[in-house]
Amino acid sequence: MFDLTGATVTAVSVSAEHTFSKTERPSIHLVSGLGVLGDAHAGVKVKHRSRVAADPTQPNLRQVHLIHAELFEVLTARGFDVAAGSLGENITTQGVYLLGLPTHTRLHLGAEAVVEVTGLRNPCVQLDALQPGLLKAVLSRDAEGNLFRKAGVMGVVLAGGEVRPGAEIGVELPPEPHWRLERV
């Protein structure tokens, strides 16, 4: 496992409805193969409305949404009013550069829960409904002109368990070769 001393969960959030933002809670329970107990996006098959409309038989590679708290700091400095859960994430982290992890990285969240990172969240226009200009703020271009998504990562639950703010995060990289994250 990768040593990231001090990497922690700072907040956990859930919504039973297909709302954009999620409500912060004292804890959430992850269920292996399904996602966050009580969350509208939990399930074996895809639950995001646009994905369901395209093909409801797709596997759900977006059971859990994680965002690094450092993104909120950047957005707040740019004048946006954002907080844990407001961008639709289930787990807010500190001290782990989620966007730089390779596909299939395993995140050990506290004593029991394990989430495997499947890819980047593809931010949508709903961000601008929350606050004008927010979509553009979480997208940029790299030196080669490729789109860079900053709105967190998605994952599937490999091992269930309770996750609370303050839980330590362990990072287990997959065997090489490593594949960079793509949108899911």
Whole-number Å distance between alpha carbons of 135 and 126: 8
Q: What is the pLDDT of residue 40?
A: 96
Per the domain annotation, does 178 fall within a domain? Answer: no
Q: Whole-structure pTM over 0.85, yes or no? A: yes
Per the domain annotation, does 3 fall within a domain? Answer: no
Per the domain annotation, does 33 fall within a domain? Answer: yes
Per the domain annotation, does 120 fall within a domain? Answer: yes
Q: What is the pLDDT of residue 155?
A: 98
Q: What is the pLDDT of residue 5?
A: 67
Per the domain annotation, does 115 fall within a domain? Answer: yes
Per the domain annotation, does 94 fall within a domain? Answer: yes
Torsion of CA 44, 17, 11, 148, to 10 degrees: 70
Q: What does pLDDT average to in each consecutive run of 10 residues of the chain (184 residues)?
A: 75 95 98 98 91 91 97 96 96 97 98 98 91 95 92 98 98 96 95
Q: What is the pLDDT of residue 81?
A: 95
Per the domain annotation, does 118 fall within a domain? Answer: yes
Write the CATH number for 144: 2.40.33.20
Count: domains in the chain: 1
Q: Domain limits at 109?
A: 8-172
Q: What is the pLDDT of residue 20?
A: 87
